[in-house]
């Protein structure tokens, strides 16, 4: 959905992420000095830096991509000069940024859940069957429980239970 092969501009000022398309388009025009419908990607960080919004024009309308990290924060790029409001980054740097990878660090170790499987494909775990109460019989434990509850709880003798079936 996010276009590739376009310019990427990152706003260095943290914003209030309650702002929508119209307000962010105004920020692009007033503070960043660009046109929102230019086809470029405009990246905005929330005040806590755990959320990010990407504003772009896809040819039919303005789109807004929103992402919030479950853990950690996004790393805002460093301004190339004092007082800069925007910095241009490469498309690969944007991909790393959206993955939560620190642009300044040489590498990042990924955290995994302790119970996560080694393969990406989910596996189905089947519980073993309970032992049969009567070997080679079709009676299930629930059927036997029903018969016993009728016999002892309801006080029905077995021959009366036969007539009911």
* pLDDT the model gives residue 59: 87
Q: Is 128 helix (H, G, I), strand (E, B) or coil?
A: coil
Contact partners, residue 151, CB within 8 Å, separation at least 6: 157, 158, 161
* pLDDT the model gives residue 107: 44
The token pair that represents 80 in the structure block: 């190339």
* pLDDT the model gives residue 69: 87
- Beta carbons of 40 and 8 less than 8 angstroms apart: yes
What is the model's pTM? 0.59
Q: Is 63 helix (H, G, I), strand (E, B) or coil?
A: strand
- CA separation for the pair 76, 12 (Å, rounded): 7
- Number of helical (H) and strand (E) elements in the chain, helices listed first: 4, 5
The token pair that represents 56 in the structure block: 């772009």
> Closest Cα partner for 59 from 37, 26, 36?
37
Task: Name the stretches of the chain with pLDDT < 70.
Answer: 1, 101-120, 161, 165
The token pair that represents 50 in the structure block: 């755990």
* pLDDT the model gives residue 109: 46
* pLDDT the model gives residue 117: 54
**pLDDT tens track for 127-164:** 887 777 777 777 777 887 887 777 777 777 777 767 77
- Beta carbons of 49 and 12 less than 8 angstroms apart: no
């Amino acid at each position: 959905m996010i276009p590739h092969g376009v310019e990427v501009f990152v706003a260095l000022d943290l914003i209030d992420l309650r702002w929508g398309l119209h307000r962010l388009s105004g920020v692009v025009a007033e503070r960043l000095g660009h046109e929102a419908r230019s086809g470029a990607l405009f990246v905005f960080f929330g005040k806590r830096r755990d959320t990010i919004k990407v504003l772009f024009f896809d040819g039919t309308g303005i789109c807004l991509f929103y992402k919030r990290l479950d853990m950690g924060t996004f790393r805002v790029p460093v301004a190339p000069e004092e007082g800069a409001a925007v910095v241009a980054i490469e498309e690969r740097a944007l991909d790393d940024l959206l993955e939560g990878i620190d642009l300044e660090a040489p590498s990042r170790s990924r955290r995994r859940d302790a119970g996560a499987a080694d393969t990406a494909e989910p596996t189905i775990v089947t519980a073993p069957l309970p032992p049969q109460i009567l070997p080679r019989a079709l009676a299930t434990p629930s059927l036997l429980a029903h018969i016993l509850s009728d016999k002892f709880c309801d006080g029905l003798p077995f021959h009366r239970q036969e007539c009911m079936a």
